[in-house]
């Protein structure tokens, strides 16, 4: 409903008072017009401003369309980037006017500067018009190409923005080249900003469980642990371990963890003083828990094979200074490890008892006699 269509109150709607005739008693009924709701009572200036937005958007897009046809779109793209940054209310009108496919075409164009501006403009527009971006033909392919250019950080941030909507995670996860480009961006050791944007995008991808096995097959586990072990930039290890915790929630990742000694690395981070921040410690505990839940007995055995694993996890569970989230993850992991250890002991005892009963030449420890 168009709120601007409400007419202003007329004179007859206003409260009026008629003088009473002399000598007669009269009963006056007060007729008061209710005040319009503040959101409905828009001033003519506000209404005019709202009408200007689509007109401005169409003018900007028209300029870009003409400039693109003349192979000189840099200035027009820069103008759209600036408008979408300074005026949040023009972002949706830009998408409605057809800016998205035109900007996407500039991502892999001849001008590197225009590609960066186009990626930044798409990121800005995605904040207010996520659905228009997600449904634009060829956009994901264009973003995939942009991840290998100077516009990588804006492209990765745009992918992350689209992944904020749960409905898009399956479709984006099905784009194997796009996921491979994100993993390759991490391996290339980009700027801190690009690395963080790529990690956020991968985190969004991994939130959809069927995508995790794809990430494992693309080498994401190796790339993530390489960052954990060697990247000292602020916040990178926190974000990398957060992605590891999500990817660990699939059975396929256990073998990948073995290749990089992932369990031992995570246990080192769980130890007191082993992680730079408390969040890294939490993420490491969450990764181990997800690994055990997804991998079952083989994953539990992998954790228990590391010397002192139970004690390390118990220290976090009993650490009064640890965060509630970290303690909860450690407590759940400890229950899983202790339960598996008890089951293993019972199986060993059953095996030994069966062996004693089946072989008369073997005496059980309880019934063995001692000879002087």
184 to 149, 218, 223, 338: CA distances (angstroms) = 12, 9, 8, 39
Answer whether residue 201 is part of any domain. Answer: no
Write the CATH number for 236: 1.25.10.10
| Terminal CA-CA length for the chain | 102
> For residue 234, what pLDDT band results from cuts at 50, 70 and 90?
confident
- Total tally of structural domains belonging to the chain: 2
- Kindly state whether residue 219 falls inside one of the protein's structural domains: yes
pLDDT above 70 for 116? yes
> Within a domain: residue 152?
yes
179 inside domain = no
Same domain as 267, residue 165: no
Tokens of 63: 């300029």
pLDDT of residue 204 exceeding 90: yes
Residue 301 forms part of a structural domain: yes
How far is Cα 161 from Cα 371, in angstroms, rounded to an integer? 77
Any domain includes 35: no
Mean confidence (pLDDT) of the chain = 84
Which band of pLDDT confidence, cut at 50, 70 and 90, is reported for residue 372? Answer: very low
Could you give the count of Cα atoms lying within 13 Å of 142 in the half-sphere of its Cβ?
Answer: 23
In this structure, the answer to whether residues 159 and 217 fall within a common structural domain is no
CA-wise closest residue to 6 among 47, 45, 56, 60: 47
Q: Is the pLDDT of residue 42 over 80?
A: no
- In the numeric block, the tokens 């904040």 are attached to 127
pLDDT of residue 169: 97
DSSP string spanning 40-106? T---HHHHHHHHHHHHHHHHHHHHHHHHHHTT--HHHHHHHHHHHHH-GGGHHHHHHTTHHHHHHHH
Say if residues 151 and 113 touch (Cβ distance below 8 Å): no
Q: Are residues 217 and 165 in the same domain?
A: no
Q: Using alpha carbons only, what angle is made at residue 357 by residues 353 and 360, rounded to the nearest 5 degrees? A: 130
Do 148 and 100 share a structural domain? yes
Q: Extract the tokens encoding 228.
A: 């954990």
**φ, ψ (nearest 5 deg) of residue 314:** -65, -35
Alpha carbon of residue 68 to chain centroid: 33
Q: Looking at the structure, tell me whether residues 212 and 170 fall in a common domain.
A: no
One domain, residues 170 and 215: no
Using an 8 Å Cβ cutoff, are 51 and 74 in contact?
no
Q: Is the pLDDT of residue 358 over 60?
A: no
R_g of the chain, CA atoms, integer Å: 32
**Calpha distance 53→303 (Å, rounded):** 59
pLDDT digits (tens, 9 = 90+) for 138-181: 999 999 999 999 999 999 999 999 999 999 999 999 999 999 99
On whether the CB atoms of residues 331 and 322 are closer than 8 A, the answer is: no
In a domain, 245, yes or no: yes
Which comes out higher in pLDDT, residue 304 or 33? 304
For residue 255, what pLDDT band results from cuts at 50, 70 and 90?
A: very high
CA–CA distance, 203 with 247 (Å, rounded to integer): 8
Do 296 and 349 lie in one domain? The reply is yes
pLDDT of residue 85 exceeding 90: yes
328 lies in the same domain as 271:
yes
Please tell me whether residues 170 and 213 are part of one structural domain.
Answer: no
Q: For residue 292, tell me if it sits in a domain.
A: yes
Which residues span the domain enclosing 265?
208-355
pLDDT band at 349 (very low <50, low <70, confident <90, very high): low
Question: Is residue 165 located within the same domain as residue 217?
Answer: no
Cα(199)–Cα(151) distance, rounded to whole angstroms? 16
Token pair in block for residue 147 = 């991840």
296 in the same domain as 346: yes
Q: Are residues 217 and 151 in the same domain?
A: no
Q: Considering Cα of 291, then 194, then 87, then 163, what sign does the dihedral take? A: negative
Residue 341 is predicted with a pLDDT of 61
> Tens digits of per-residue pLDDT, 6-39?
333 333 333 334 444 444 444 443 444 445 444 4
Tokens of 333: 């992991």
pLDDT tier for residue 357 given thresholds of 50, 70 and 90:
low
């Amino acid at each position: 409903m168009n709120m601007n269509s409400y007419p202003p109150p007329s004179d007859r709607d206003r409260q009026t008072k008629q003088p009473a005739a002399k000598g007669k008693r009269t009963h006056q009924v007060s007729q008061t017009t209710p005040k319009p709701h503040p959101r409905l009572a828009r001033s003519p200036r506000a209404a005019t401003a709202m009408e200007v937005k689509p007109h401005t958007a169409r003018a900007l897009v028209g300029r870009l369309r003409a400039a693109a046809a003349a192979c000189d779109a840099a200035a027009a793209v820069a103008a759209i980037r600036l408008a979408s940054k300074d005026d949040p209310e023009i972002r949706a009108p830009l998408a409605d006017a057809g800016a998205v496919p035109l900007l996407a075409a500039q991502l892999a164009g001849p001008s590197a500067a225009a590609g960066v501006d186009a990626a930044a403009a798409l990121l800005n527009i995605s904040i207010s018009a996520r659905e228009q971006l997600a449904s634009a033909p060829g956009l994901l392919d264009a973003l995939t190409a942009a991840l290998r250019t100077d516009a990588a950080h804006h492209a990765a941030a745009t992918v992350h923005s689209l992944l904020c909507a749960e409905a898009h995670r399956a479709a984006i996860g099905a784009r194997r080249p796009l996921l491979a480009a994100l993993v390759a961006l991490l391996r290339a050791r980009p700027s801190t900003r690009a690395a963080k944007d790529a990690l956020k995008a991968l985190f969004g991808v991994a939130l959809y469980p069927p995508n995790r096995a794809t990430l494992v097959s693309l080498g994401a586990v190796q790339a993530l642990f390489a960052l954990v072990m060697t990247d000292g930039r602020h916040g990178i290890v926190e974000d990398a371990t957060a992605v590891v915790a999500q990817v660990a929630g699939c059975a396929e990742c256990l073998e990948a963890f073995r290749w990089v000694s992932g369990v031992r690395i995570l246990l080192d981070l769980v130890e007191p003083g082993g992680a730079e921040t408390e969040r890294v410690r939490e993420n490491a505990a969450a990764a181990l828990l997800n690994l055990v839940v997804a991998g079952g007995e083989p994953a539990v055995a992998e954790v228990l094979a590391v010397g002192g694993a139970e004690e390390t996890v118990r220290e976090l569970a009993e650490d009064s200074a640890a965060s509630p989230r970290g303690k909860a993850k450690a407590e759940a992991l400890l229950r899983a490890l202790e339960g598996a250890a008890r089951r293993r002991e019972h199986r060993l005892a059953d095996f030994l008892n069966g062996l004693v009963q089946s072989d008369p030449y073997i005496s059980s420890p309880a019934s063995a006699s001692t000879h002087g």
